[in-house]
Amino acid sequence: MLMKKVAARIVLAAAAAGVAGAAWAEDGPIKVGFVGGLTGACAALVEDELNAVRMGVDELNAAGGILGRQVELVVRDSQTKPDEGAKQSRELIVGEDIDLLTGVCSSSVMLAMTAVSKELKVPFYSAIGSTQKANVEAYQPYFWQVQANATMEAVAAAEYVAKKPEWRRIVPMGFDYEWGHSSVDAFTTHLKKLRPEIEITDPIFPKVGEANMAPYITAALAKQPDAIFAAVFGGGLASLIKQGQGYGMFERSNLVTLLTVDALQSMGDAMPKERVFGVARAPFFAIEDSEDARAFIAHYRSKYGEYPTDWSINGYDGLMFYAAAAEAAGSVEPDALMKAVHEITFDGLRGNALKVRAFDGQMNAPSYVGEVSFEDGYDFAIMKNVEVYAGEALMWPEETIQAARDAAK
């Protein structure tokens, strides 16, 4: 039994080494491995990303592919579980010879997959998952991030709040796990730096996915805040907004929270008319100045019958960025490709001059903060007066990241 296991390990290791050492196929299709949480907590988000990636692959192929080679999409379900995500990634790399790994959503799956990418030296980017750990403690040279990571978003929220002088007392709130805590920390630290006189109370941490937010709302409002910053999402966010109305939250205070297009859509009419401020990753209504973005939105709507969400737009930008890097490198061989990833400047749906930093794989992607508002022509609330924060201003400088890496050792 033991011998069998050992033998199996040797075979696996040999297979892995074979892949890592093998010359990269220079002909045949370029294979994009999409390991996403098609089931589990991430399903709705991943479906939106996958829709856009499928569309992008079709467009690339219609235009002759990447480097004259057709692009083939191979999709696997990680079930939003770290071990399953790692296993599926390994199988695609060893069995399907994929050239690129993507599709990840949940932070924990992302950390498991970046470890596989590092070990087997396959380029890997994220367009939904956003934990900063992948840029800092768990950074590896084959990873890049095409959207603002969680910390950058919290910093953007702090920048926005700082510009509201009438807000003097803030209650931070976050889901009780890594993302919620690090968002609250980044928000609090940055806001204190911008406005030392502002009062930030002790944070409130509901458990992840909490359906009954009433006790947390009461506890938050008891502190009489001018605004509540909430790093919550999904069902917890819907509960916070719906239940908050019964406690006069939007008469007595303001709410600053993450509001991607899918969240705005699922809230529908239940969204308060005012006093909600959203932080978003890539809201379609804020990028419509660009002709490319307008064309993408129209195409997406005609194909899928709905507006693209932040996840669709980032997913599409992510794929097109990879295509541009591969064209620049003249190859999809991992080391050559990564060199191009760190060198090229990319014009995407979210704006021009997008670049990926070499020391943490972070793209200077923008964050969007605006006021929730009901506008004609939409059957859900969108945002008006959207401020766009350029990624450079939100990213941690190299020294800070180095210090965090040293501290984590």
Partner 1 sequence: MILVQLVNGLMEGMMLFLIASGLTLIFGVSRIINFAHGSLYMLGAFLTWQLVPLLAPGTVAGFFGAVLLSAVLVAVIGTIFEMLILRRIYGADTLMQLIITIALVFILRDAVRTIWGPNSLSVPMPDAMMGALVIGDNFFPIFPFVIFGAGLVVVLAMILVIHFTRAGILLRAATDDRGMASLLGVNEKLVFTLVFAAGCFLAGLAGGMAAPYGDVNYLLDTTVIVSAFIVCVIGGLGNLYGALAGAMVVGVTKAMGVMFFPRLAMVLIFLIMAAVLVARSLGRQAGPAR
Minimum Å gap between C-beta 220 and partner 1 is: 10
Overall residue count recorded for the chain in this entry = 409
CB atoms within 10 A of CB 330: 11
Minimum Å gap between C-beta 38 and partner 1 is: 9
Closest CB to partner 1 among residues 192, 223: 223
**Cβ(319)–Cβ(330) under 8 Å?**
no
Minimum Å gap between C-beta 213 and partner 1 is: 8
Minimum Å gap between C-beta 249 and partner 1 is: 9
Minimum Å gap between C-beta 243 and partner 1 is: 6
Closest CB to partner 1 among residues 71, 228: 228
Take residue 171 and report the two structure tokens written for it.
């209650």
Minimum Å gap between C-beta 238 and partner 1 is: 4
Minimum Å gap between C-beta 269 and partner 1 is: 6
Closest CB to partner 1 among residues 238, 395: 238
Closest CB to partner 1 among residues 24, 250: 250
Minimum Å gap between C-beta 41 and partner 1 is: 6
Q: What does the CA dihedral 353, 354, 359, 362 come to, rounded to 10 degrees?
A: 150
Annotate the chain with three-state secondary structure.
CHHHHHHHHHHHHHHHHHHHHCCCCCCCCEEEEEEECCCCCCHHHHHHHHHHHHHHHHHHHHCCCECCECEEEEEEECCCCHHHHHHHHHHHHHHHCCCEEECCCCHHHHHHHHHHHHHHCCCEEECCCCCHHHCCCCCCCCEEECCCCHHHHHHHHHHHHHCCCCCCEEEEEECCCHHHHHHHHHHHHHHHHHCCCCEECCCECCCCCCCCCHHHHHHHHCCCCCEEEEECCHHHHHHHHHHHHHCCHHHHCCEEEECCHHHHHHHHHHCCCCCEEEEECCCHHHCCCCHHHHHHHHHHHHHHCCCCCHHHHHHHHHHHHHHHHHHHHCCCCHHHHHHHHHHCCEEECCEEEECECCCCCEECCCEEEEEEECCCCCCCCEEEEEEEECHHHHCCCHHHHHHHHHHHC
Closest CB to partner 1 among residues 171, 332: 171
What does residue 32 show for φ and ψ, rounded to 5 degrees?
-100, 115
Closest CB to partner 1 among residues 236, 351: 236
Site residues (vs partner 1, CB under 8 A): 39-41, 43-44, 47, 202, 204-207, 209, 211-212, 214-216, 218-219, 221-222, 234-235, 238-239, 242-243, 245-248, 262-263, 265-270
Closest CB to partner 1 among residues 145, 243: 243
Closest CB to partner 1 among residues 218, 400: 218
Closest CB to partner 1 among residues 309, 364: 309
Minimum Å gap between C-beta 175 and partner 1 is: 12
Closest CB to partner 1 among residues 270, 408: 270
Residue with tokens 């219609």, as numbered in its chain: 62
Minimum Å gap between C-beta 47 and partner 1 is: 6
